[in-house]
Amino acid sequence: MPSPRLLVLFGSQTGTAEDVSERLGREARRRRLACRVQALDSYPVVNLINEPLVIFVCATTGQGDPPDNMKNFWRFIFRKHLPSTSLCQMDFAVLGLGDSSYAKFNFVAKKLHRRLLQLGGTALLPVCLGDEQHELGPDAAMDPWLHDLWEKVRVLHPMPLSLSVIPPGVPLPSKFTMQFLPETPRTCSEEQCVARTDPQSPPSELQPFLAPMVTNQRVTGPSHFQDVRLIEFDIAGSGISFAAGDVVLIQPQNAASHVQQFCQVLGLDPEQCFTLQPREPDVPCPTRLPQPCSVRHLVSQYLDIVSVPRRSFFELLACLSPSELERDKLLELSSAAGQEELSQYCSRPRRTALEVLCDFPCTAAAIPPDYLLDLIPPIRPRAFSIASSLLAHPSRLQILVAVVQYQTRLREPRRGLCSSWLASLHPGQAGPVQVPLWVRPGGLTFPETADTPVIMVGPGTGVAPFRAAIQERVAQSKAGNFLFFGCRWRDQDFYWEAEWKELEKKGCLTLVTAFSREQKQKVYVQHRLRELGPLVWELLDRRGAYFYLAGNAKYMPADVSEALTSIFQEEGGLSGPDAAAYLARLQRTLRFQTETWA
């Protein structure tokens, strides 16, 4: 393809930024632009001085931190000695993906945009601030921004007169080709597992540890609306170590019934084996797929067939559809004008890719297997706060899992892939159960000094990381542990009640509870904070306490922040603006840390 070279670099924690980057790559190729898509840390950053056109796609994690796969790039790009003309030849654009329920919304994208300008780069557009909280997701900000971006690129780098844009109805070549093998080799798929039970180096996404599940216990009452599990893994000999605040990542699998249904709808033989070949020399094969691989392994352990498909899914399906009726509908759903209808059909009711394929049977039956990896994203690992300390439970790792199940207007309940898969596993009933996992640092870090108090606010399953912290701190003889825990009913979802009571008796913990449904007026953790305002102010202002918050992102973080600013005004005598500045200073110095999820 002709010049110019477009480079798309992404920093992704959960895979969304990578998906968006792949979309940019496809749109670039339709415009006859040679395009490379790479993770930031796999790109030699010193080569940026030679790049004429770069789009950065980056997520923000935790307390405004860069994703794991761009941390090396981040350290390099913020070196103080870099000349202010380093990137003077580069036109760039930054697309951010964030969540406005977090205080540092799209912090990484904003900071990167400013830094690239400092180094002499020319911004094609203001930074794009995609927001997961928007009803249409990040697309609401991305669609108009991308329209403007491609117009800027067209003006700067006009397409040769002999070429035209490849229209949306024409499929681009698949990224990979599948070579089906005439007979099943003895070392196909399930016998070749990339995970090991005795890793030589600490486990990672490329080399997870197959951890034996020891227990899988429901910890909510039988009449409680939600099934919550305390799950324990044996990590002896894994090389895994962790501290309070760290998270474990688990690689889930699709349900056998869904795998069977997917293969039937697409006319695939699950036992057939294949090898994968990239069409372009610089594109690697997915490291998580063995070679050769069975269709069953691909569908059960790699393709996320129960994810809610993105717009690009419908665009590609429309290209591949032999049915005029189905193709017209798919084109409508993938058009800019059809985004509200797509939201009604897919995003709001959380319709899965498998269900969409069942709704378009002629199209599904005609999908060439080569396009499966372009059409369906890979299953992403799920992160869980570690709920135990190695100091209290050596060679063990525990998590608290709320099994996700809810109803939309669709007949079948919606189920979380990972939590449902974990809940379905029963150690000891049918032989050993092993789960691929690895550990990474989380968003919460706790003070090293023994005399620094910590205030932990963890309603519901948000209490999980604080159990790890309390176990660790008690084992290290650190006092000043204050836990605010909230749930609905004392006898239904009061996690670890006996453990907290025992620690209270020993003087190792101050426990404050809020049972929201046990009185006429609902009582939440923010109400308890206000009631104990003098204590909270004393701990924060005079004793240098750290404040932690974990749990659901919807309302609770804002309600707790509001309670704190009220305490600063009432107990500290601060004005409204000064109270807000005090809270911001706590956040800036990491004395107020949050870990929330949607």
Q: How far is CA 215 from the centre of its chain?
A: 26
Q: Can you tell me which residue has the tokens 């020993």?
A: 506
598 pLDDT tier (thresholds 50, 70, 90): low
pLDDT tens digits, one per residue of 455-492: 999 998 999 999 999 999 999 999 899 999 988 888 88
- Classified as helix, coil or strand, 70 is helix
402: nearest Cα among 483, 472, 469, 495: 495
pLDDT at 375 over 90: yes
Identify the residue with better confidence: 431 or 315. 315
Contact assessment for residue 359 and residue 326, using Cβ atoms and an 8 Å cutoff:
no
245-249, 281-285, 452-456, 592-596: the lowest-pLDDT one: 281-285
The pLDDT value given to residue 161: 81
Cα–Cα distance between 33 and 186 in angstroms, integer? 43
pLDDT at 69 over 70: yes
419: nearest Cα among 196, 233, 216: 216
Cα–Cα distance between 521 and 515 in angstroms, integer? 10
71-85, 154-168, 208-222, 445-459: the lowest-pLDDT one: 154-168
Q: Count Cβ atoms within 10 A of the Cβ of residue 555 and give its class: 0-12 exposed, 13-18 middle, 19 or more buried.
A: exposed
The pLDDT value given to residue 359: 97
Contact assessment for residue 277 and residue 449, using Cβ atoms and an 8 Å cutoff:
no
pLDDT at 222 over 90: no
Identify the residue with better confidence: 17 or 359. 359
Most confidently modeled of 39-53, 258-272, 559-573?
A: 258-272
191 pLDDT tier (thresholds 50, 70, 90): very low
pLDDT tens digits, one per residue of 548-589: 999 886 778 888 899 999 999 999 999 999 999 999 999 989
Q: Give the amino acid at 458.
A: G
What average pLDDT does this structure show over 275-288?
A: 86
189 pLDDT tier (thresholds 50, 70, 90): very low
pLDDT at 198 over 60: no
The pLDDT value given to residue 2: 43
Q: Give the percent of the chain with pLDDT over 90.
A: 62
Instruction: Tell me the pLDDT of the chain averaged across its residues.
Output: 89
Q: Give the C-alpha distances (Å, rounded to integers) separating 154 from 88, 213, 292, 577.
A: 20, 55, 42, 46
The pLDDT value given to residue 245: 93
pLDDT at 197 over 60: no
What average pLDDT does this structure show over 226-241?
A: 94
The pLDDT value given to residue 62: 66
pLDDT tens digits, one per residue of 404-427: 988 999 999 999 999 999 999 998
Global pTM value: 0.85
pLDDT at 192 over 60: no
What average pLDDT does this structure show over 260-278?
A: 96
Q: Count Cβ atoms within 10 A of the Cβ of residue 483 and give its class: 0-12 exposed, 13-18 middle, 19 or more buried.
A: buried
| Pure H helices in 34-184 | 71-77, 107-118, 139-156
Q: Give the percent of the chain with pLDDT over 70.
A: 95
What average pLDDT does this structure show over 500-529?
A: 88
Q: How far apart are the first and last CA of the chain?
A: 42
Residue 379's region, left for phi above 0, alpha for psi from -120 to 50, else beta, is: beta
Cα–Cα distance between 182 and 44 in angstroms, integer? 41
The pLDDT value given to residue 455: 95
Q: What is the 3-state secondary structure (H, E, C) of 416-485?
A: CHHHHHHHCCCCCCCCCCEEEEEEECCCCCCCCCCCCCEEEECCHHHHHHHHHHHHHHHHCCCCCEEEEE
pLDDT at 260 over 90: yes
Does residue 453 have a cis peptide bond before it, meaning omega lies within 30 degrees of 0?
Answer: no
Q: Rg of the chain over CA atoms, in angstroms?
A: 26
Q: Give the amino acid at 540.
A: L
Q: Give the C-alpha distances (Å, rounded to integers) separating 115 from 112, 118, 153, 348, 529.
A: 5, 5, 22, 37, 39
121 pLDDT tier (thresholds 50, 70, 90): very high
155 token code pair: 């003006």
DSSP H or E stretch at residue 551: strand 546-552
188 pLDDT tier (thresholds 50, 70, 90): low
